[in-house]
Structure 1
């Protein structure tokens, strides 16, 4: 998490919108003293016991065996990023940097049971298929009988209990307007430039 306060985002609604829009995340944990990383789409859910982050992994993933006992992890969703050249600033006494938008989620991770895993997969598919409209949504009912259940054996479901939810929106907002406008102009139609324009 970037230490500079102007870039920090704590508004839960904004952070959850980010995760819904950019669900594919990096999950990092320490297992038996070794740093392990996995990549998975996540779904944030509000349950009676609080906010959770559900995801699934291949059974062959290095994190999967650790689910039996549970582990502590950090999930990071990076929306978009861009290199920023000092040549784009009006003030030439600057150094290169990166602008980016990201969210970090931290907490203990435990295994989901099979019913929870199936619900996760159905919900995840529904969310992603909705982005493809007007295409008729895919559902597992389109699969041959027994095929989904067979493939289900190759993955495990996981649930992170959210203890920390924070974001970074680093879009040159600490720079003078002339420098910001220079970056926006140079980046053109890049998603970071669009975000900078939206930020005002």
Structure 2
């Protein structure tokens, strides 16, 4: 996380809502062979926990149950050129970005919870792409075989850290110059992030 306290999610912008909206993470954990990372879809539960699944063949899968992990959930970012400020010679390049880190202990879930997770995964992500696939569309034997190859997990957050870096440390004139430059190069999302944090 960026150490500058200006780059934090606001109280009215909950971190887990960002996690739910983004829905994908880098999950870091330890194995006997050293640290490993898994790339996983995430679902936030009503209880505020995070659920995901991994292939049993994943290097982390056999080492997660009961162990601490770090999940990093990042949105898109924007490179910021010093040339976009009023005084380019007094500045250096940087990135604006938005991310959440969650630390906590993971527990493996049972077969029924795995089925519920897969149903929830489809119900959450299929509408985002305008589709309606469900596990019911699979032949039962095929669904069971595929489920036997994965494990569901739940991460209970102990620590949640946030960064929402969108030029908050710049004066109004520089921020407007950066917005104009981002729009000029087609990075409308980066420009919108600055507007969002400043209430423009």
1:9-88 alignment, distance < 5 Å: 9=9, 11=11, 14-32=14-32, 34-47=34-47, 51-68=48-65, 70-88=66-84
How far did 1:111 drift? 0.6
1:184 matched to which residue of 2? 179
Aligned length: 194
Distance in 1 between residues matched to 2:14 and 2:83, nearest whole Å: 32
- Does residue 114 of structure 2 align to residue 117 of structure 1? yes
Following TM superposition, by how much is the alpha carbon of 1:46 offset from its aligned partner in structure 2, in angstroms? 3.3
Give the TM-score of the pair, scaled to structure 2.
0.90
Which of residues 138, 141, 146 is equivalent to 1:143?
138
Say what the alpha-carbon RMSD is for the aligned residues: 1.6
**Mapped partners of 1:9, 1:182: distance in 2:** 23
CA distance in 2, matches of 1:185, 1:13: 25
Give the one of 140, 146, 152 matched to 2:147. Answer: 152
Report whether the alignment pairs 1:108 with 2:105.
yes
Larger proportion of strand: 1
- 1:6 is paired with a residue whose SS is coil
**1:31–1:12 CA distance, 2 compared to 1 (3 A):** farther
3-state SS, counterpart of residue 126 of structure 2: helix
Give the conservation status (yes or no) of the 8 Å contact 2:52–2:154.
Answer: yes
**CA deviations over 1:135-187 (Å, ceiling 9, x no partner):** 4x111111123211111111111111110122110000110111111211111
Question: What TM-score do you get using the length of structure 1 for normalisation?
Answer: 0.90
Show structure 2 runs of 5+ residues with no match. none
